[in-house]
Amino acid sequence: MRLARSAALLAATCLALAAVTPPPSLSQPVQLPSAAGAWSRADSVGMYAGKALYLLVDGGADLFFEYGFVRALASEYCRPPGAVAATELYEMKSAAAAYGLFTSFTAGTGSAAPVGQEAVLGEGYCIFWKGTCVGMLTAASSDSSSGPALLDLAEALSKEIRHAGEIPELSRRLRAAGFDPRHTVYVRGRLAAGNQFPGAWVPAFPPAEGVVGTSGGARFLILEYPDAAAAAGALDGASAEWKRSGLAANADEAGRWGIREGDGGVSAVERHGRYVVAVSARSGRPGGLASRLKQILPAP
């Protein structure tokens, strides 16, 4: 998120912008309007699709592609007397993809805000999710007024997104069971899973959708495969790789794997129907959390 012009120049530009873009129809792609609430767009809109995303996102574009990136829109908005916000709107292939991207950037940060379907407001930034889109707003300067101002801009932009989306089923199950959604991330593939769950054994699993979260000082990972056979094959293949790499991993008679981590912690990994469930804890036994997680999943 980069501010290409000075705040002073953009504040002056605000005074010259008065046009209001009519609301789009449901069939039109989402746009960044010339006016959004009390804010006015202070620059042209940059559109990034395909590998052009690397021009907008430094060093992290691969994560967007893993979730399912379609295109991004970027511009800057200003609000008299001198507020400036860099604005990026990412359109993803599905609501689940957008939700996952949103959680990957917001888990454990900021505070929840009533914008779009979900939003997080932090010091000088606001990130929201609605339907297939994720909006990321960054203020040029952070003070006591920047939070409410960013919320005003985010709310106006979220209204340009005509369709809402559903939270993925696995994430809904965790919420219903009392797991804090602010501390869970919906992942798609090795990159997101490895970023959120840094165990050396995680990349051995085939790419899958799932959830990484924290609870009671322990970290957990649930990977979802098409069926029980696919999950069993994923665990068998991963455990074979662990052995080849010399990882301190051993299975009990029930097929539950225990892995000794480099930081002294222990990870427990097992299959539950079409899911692979893993819990990592630096102290205590991970079995209690693993049992709780299996209780909220469909029966094998």
Domain residues for the domain of 121 are: 7-158
Q: Is there a single domain that holds both residue 231 and residue 130?
A: no
Last residue of a domain, one of 158, 189, 221: 158
pLDDT at 199: 82
Over residues 44-80, the pLDDT tens digits come to 999 999 999 999 998 889 999 999 999 999 999 999 9
The span from the CA of 64 to the CA of 97, in Å, is: 9
For residue 300, is pLDDT > 60?
A: yes
Q: Output the pLDDT for position 115.
A: 96
Enter the tokens of residue 124: 């000088």
Instruction: Please write the tens of the pLDDT for every residue from 158-194.
Output: 999 999 999 999 999 999 999 999 999 999 999 999 9
Domain total for the chain? Answer: 2
User: Do 150 and 179 belong together in one domain?
Assistant: no
Domain boundary (158, 186, 214) is at 158
Say whether both 148 and 22 belong to one domain: yes
User: For residue 76, is it within any domain?
Assistant: yes
Distance between CA 14 and CA 213 in Å, rounded? 42
Q: What proportion of the chain, given as a percentage, has pLDDT over 70?
A: 88
Same domain, 16 and 153: yes
Q: Do 136 and 196 have their domain in common?
A: no
13 and 132 inside one domain = yes
Q: Is there a domain that residue 163 lies in?
A: no
CATH of the domain at 183: 3.40.1000
Instruction: Name the pTM for this structure.
Output: 0.88
